């Protein structure tokens, strides 16, 4: 079997195993990541590696966690979070009670993003009124998020006022986020390429994830985000991303990396 056939078979069998459709991820990038991981464990073909992760659940879990690219930190790209805090949320507050808005962190990884939203929202309303939906394809990452323990490098860009108010240092390099913040977030497993999306969402956050998908996959996700948004809902994307054909999705830019749903 040649290399091309090996990867095609791997994609098909891995989808049956995991429901993760690798056809919707950029091929060159994904092949490089899988090869790097598999070679560390001594595998020289995609399918021999797949045979092993079918047998070895621990290795399978490590691989899925690696594959879903969980790179996250608090307040990543600070200027964007400042725009959310000083422009987007005050504008929404003029027409809606912030305690009633629906916010969805759609690829939450290990929780830094939804917890950042909670801390920002707490500048406007009491903690008990905040409820954030956070989803990810990786259950292991979600479990880490629920623990709420982070190394110092994860909070390096976070304003000091948030660290002082919401974190406790538990050893030389790790911090525990407060249980009050954790309790504001509902975590669920959700595959953006396969599963139904929540409806009537006021703010969808999807940052630094879409860069890994094919154009076909991104088109599908933007269509579904648009349907998921409430009237005048906001889509907040990452610093390396932009939506070229935003009209196609009934969106309009309202600043760098923020788009508002229009009437369609």
Query: What is the reported pLDDT for 161?
Result: 96
pLDDT tens-place string over residues 98-142: 999 999 999 999 999 999 999 999 999 999 999 999 999 888 889
Positions in the chain short of pLDDT 70: 1-5, 69-72, 264
Cβ count near 231 (within 10 Å) = 10
Query: What is the reported pLDDT for 111?
Result: 95
72 occurs within a structural domain: no
Helix, coil or strand: residue 86: helix
Statement to judge: residues 63 and 93 lie in one domain: no
Q: 14, 35, 67 — which closes off a domain?
A: 67
Question: Is-contact 137 191, C-beta < 8 A?
Answer: yes
Query: What is the reported pLDDT for 61?
Result: 84
Statement to judge: residues 154 and 86 lie in one domain: yes
Query: What is the reported pLDDT for 28?
Result: 85
- 250-257, long-range: CB < 8 A, 24+ apart: 250/226, 251/222, 251/226, 255/83, 255/87, 256/80, 256/83, 257/80, 257/83, 257/207
> What's the domain count of the chain?
2
73 occurs within a structural domain: no
Q: 67, 89, 106 — which closes off a domain?
A: 67
Query: What is the reported pLDDT for 229?
Result: 97
- Show the domain range for 34: 3-67
- Give me the DSSP letters along 186-236: EEEE--TTTSPPPSSEEEEEE-S-GGGB-HHHHHHHHHHHHHHEEEEEEEE
Query: What is the reported pLDDT for 69?
Result: 62
Statement to judge: residues 17 and 98 lie in one domain: no
For 84, list phi and psi in degrees, rounded to 5.
-60, -45
H or E stretch including 9?
Answer: helix 3-18
Query: What is the reported pLDDT for 139?
Result: 87
Statement to judge: residues 129 and 251 lie in one domain: yes
Query: What is the reported pLDDT for 205?
Result: 97
Q: 47, 67, 87 — which closes off a domain?
A: 67
Helix, coil or strand: residue 25: strand
d(CA 16, CA 83) in angstroms, rounded, equals: 42
Question: Is-contact 132 105, C-beta < 8 A?
Answer: yes
pLDDT tens-place string over residues 185-208: 999 999 999 999 999 999 999 998
- DSSP code, position 88: I
Query: What is the reported pLDDT for 81?
Result: 94
152 occurs within a structural domain: yes
Query: What is the reported pLDDT for 162?
Result: 97
Q: Which residues contact 142 (CB under 8 A, 6 or more apart)?
A: 108, 111, 134, 136, 187, 188, 189
Q: What is the CATH number of the domain that holds 199?
A: 3.40.50.150
Query: What is the reported pLDDT for 4?
Result: 55
Statement to judge: residues 38 and 121 lie in one domain: no
Statement to judge: residues 45 and 175 lie in one domain: no
Statement to judge: residues 205 and 85 lie in one domain: yes
d(CA 250, CA 227) in angstroms, rounded, equals: 9
d(CA 234, CA 212) in angstroms, rounded, equals: 22
Statement to judge: residues 13 and 143 lie in one domain: no
Of 206, 190, 188, nearest to 131 by C-alpha is: 188
d(CA 158, CA 161) in angstroms, rounded, equals: 8
Statement to judge: residues 127 and 187 lie in one domain: yes
Query: What is the reported pLDDT for 22?
Result: 85
46 occurs within a structural domain: yes
136 occurs within a structural domain: yes
Query: What is the reported pLDDT for 70?
Result: 58
């Amino acid at each position: 079997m040649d290399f091309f056939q090996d990867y095609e078979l791997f994609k098909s069998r891995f989808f049956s195993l995991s429901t993760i459709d690798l056809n919707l991820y950029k091929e060159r990038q994904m092949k490089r990541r899988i090869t790097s991981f598999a070679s560390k464990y001594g595998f020289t073909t995609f399918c021999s590696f797949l045979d092993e992760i079918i047998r070895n659940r621990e290795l399978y879990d490590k691989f899925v966690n690696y594959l879903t690219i969980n790179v996250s930190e608090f307040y990543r790209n600070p200027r964007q979070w400042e725009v959310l805090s000083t422009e987007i949320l005050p504008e929404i507050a003029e027409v809606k009670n912030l305690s009633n808005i629906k916010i969805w962190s759609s690829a939450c990884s290990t929780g830094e993003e939804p917890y950042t939203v909670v801390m920002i929202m707490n500048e406007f309303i009491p903690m008990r009124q905040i409820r954030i939906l956070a989803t990810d394809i990786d259950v292991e990452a979600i479990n880490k998020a629920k623990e709420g323990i982070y190394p110092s490098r994860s909070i390096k860009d976070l304003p000091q006022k948030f660290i002082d108010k919401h974190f406790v240092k538990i050893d030389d390099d790790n911090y525990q986020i407060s249980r009050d913040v954790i309790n504001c977030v509902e975590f669920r497993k959700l595959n953006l390429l396969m599963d139904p999306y929540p409806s009537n969402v006021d703010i969808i956050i999807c940052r630094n994830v879409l860069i890994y998908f094919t154009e076909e996959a991104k088109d599908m996700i933007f269509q579904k985000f648009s349907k998921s948004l409430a009237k005048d809902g906001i889509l907040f994307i990452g610093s390396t991303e932009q939506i070229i054909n935003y009209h196609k999705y009934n969106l309009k830019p309202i600043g760098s990396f923020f788009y508002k749903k229009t009437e369609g």
